Chains A and B, each alone.
Chain A
């Protein structure tokens, strides 16, 4: 029961290391995909099928986009040069992070036994109050609908940003002149 998640975890770590160290871009993308699909299988072991479905599908779409991008380029990683200062500062900050993690995680509740103050109410009264059989849908679209609105706004804004940044030329024609001078004067 507990052996399979550990094997998947080791596979994910190996995939992450391959994705960082390999020279070929396409191999790096596929190795990063191993991490994503491993996470989705782990969510199934943690009994969260909603998140597992979402993780699988988003991983598929992002892999399609990344492979589509990398197959057309020259596929070689940039030559790495060793920077001692960056390595040492990185190690120091990772060490600090781990030290604070250990300090913080000592007081946490054990894994799989969360504090059931608010969520106990959702579990016991969710079906009666919302009528939704899927308790996750009841939480994200009824009790925490305001959060979901925020997430929808985040996606909406990112689409706006992508459309504005990715387009090559503006809506104005090339021959048209600016009616007002704005910006830094030359």
Chain B
């Protein structure tokens, strides 16, 4: 039901920008998201990390909002769930720190380090990168939502939809 509605909104001519922008954006958004996840997950091996990858994720959602109208982007991820993801990322980072307190000191690298230059290595650094990436991505997207939807008076007609 929800999927069908989103499909209709993608092809609606009255919403968002022109057909050219929509076609290019539809191809690019998946690749931008993939690149963001790559930057986050390989943060302990290659340049990048949680913050840079998180901003890339936020840019993918921002592109969605600009190309296919604000309505569709809010259907995908609205301000409530954006702030929930923001809080979850923050909570995960702090919990990782406190688990380290159990083994030695705050933010102790408690997981087995593994062999260097492998994807699963460096203990808790990849986990912390993922937490920060989710946190930063959701947070910057939430700021863009905040600048976009707050401040305009939502009529009762729009609320009932």
Decide yes or no: A130 and B128 within 8 Å by CB, A64-B66, A163-B83 being known contacts.
no
Select one of A50, A57, A58, A137 contacting B129, CB under 8 A: A137
Decide yes or no: A50 and B48 within 8 Å by CB, A145-B128, A163-B142 being known contacts.
yes
Name which of B1-9, B10-18, B21-29, B117-125 contacts chain A: B117-125
A162 at the interface (CB under 8 A from B): yes
Residues of the B chain whose Cβ atoms lie less than 8 Å from the Cβ of A131: 113-116, 121-123, 125
User: In chain A, residues 130-170, which have Cβ atoms closer than 8 Å to a Cβ of chain B?
Assistant: 130-134, 136-138, 140-142, 145-146, 148-149, 152-153, 155-156, 158-159, 162-163, 166-168
Shortest beta-carbon distance from A185 to chain B in Å: 30
* A168 pairs with B151, CB closer than 8 A: yes
* B113 pairs with A130, CB closer than 8 A: yes
A-side interface mostly: helix
Q: Report how far A77 CA is from B79 CA in the complex, Å.
A: 33
The number of inter-chain residue pairs (CB within 8 angstroms) is 134
Q: Report how far A145 CA is from B129 CA in the complex, Å.
A: 11
B-side interface mostly: helix
Write the residues of chain A forming the contact surface with B, with a CB cutoff of 8 angstroms: 49-50, 52-54, 57-58, 60-61, 64-65, 68-69, 127, 130-134, 136-138, 140-142, 145-146, 148-149, 152-153, 155-156, 158-159, 162-163, 166-168
Interface size range of chain B in the complex: 35 or more
* A146 pairs with B107, CB closer than 8 A: yes
